[in-house]
Amino acid sequence: DTGVSQDPRHKITKRGQNVTFRCDPISEHNRLYWYRQTLGQGPEFLTYFQNEAQLEKSRLLSDRFSAERPKGSFSTLEIQRTEQGDSAMYLCASSFLGGETEAFFGQGTRLTVV
């Protein structure tokens, strides 16, 4: 297993366009998390799944954001009608069961909205 994989690594899009990011977690991990990180800040929690169920969404996740994990394996994060304020690094992490277990992060997707 090569760890958490995210695709694409970089995305430049025009304001108003839709974008979709993919995350492949570590295969035996049943929890998957999405975070957003802006320059000079720590990552901020967006949402997480246990298997295919989305268990929590942050207030940061506006109606333009949607995340899915249809078969409890990979996940997608879609942003509709992108705004310049959406420019950030989007990070995915996975863990086994959650609680007192270690979270492993992917390399992130850098989104630039122009």
Partner 1 sequence: KQEVTQIPAALSVPEGENLVLNCSFTDSAIYNLQWFRQDPGKGLTSLLLIQSSQREQTSGRLNASLDKSSGRSTLYIAASQPGDSATYLCAVGADKLIFGTGTRLQVFP
C-alpha span between 36 and 47 (Å, rounded): 10
The minimum distance between CB 21 and partner 1, in angstroms, equals: 13
The minimum distance between CB 25 and partner 1, in angstroms, equals: 13
Residues 14-73, interacting with partner 1 (CB under 8 A): 31, 33, 35, 40-45, 48, 55-56
Integer-rounded Cα Rg, in Å, for the chain is 13
DSSP annotation of 74 reads: -
Q: In what order do the strands lie in the sheet with 5-7?
A: 5-7, 19-24, 75-79, 65-68
Structure tokens at 38: 């802006």
Nearer to partner 1, 85 or 99 (CB): 99
Kindly state the number of chain residues that form the binding site for partner 1, as judged by CB under 8 A.
28
Output the CA–CA distances (angstroms, integers) from residue 35 to 1, 110, in the order listed: 22, 12
Q: Does 96 bind partner 1 (CB under 8 A)?
A: no
The minimum distance between CB 86 and partner 1, in angstroms, equals: 18
Binding site for partner 1 (CB under 8 A): 4, 6, 31, 33, 35, 40-45, 48, 55-56, 91, 93, 98-108, 110
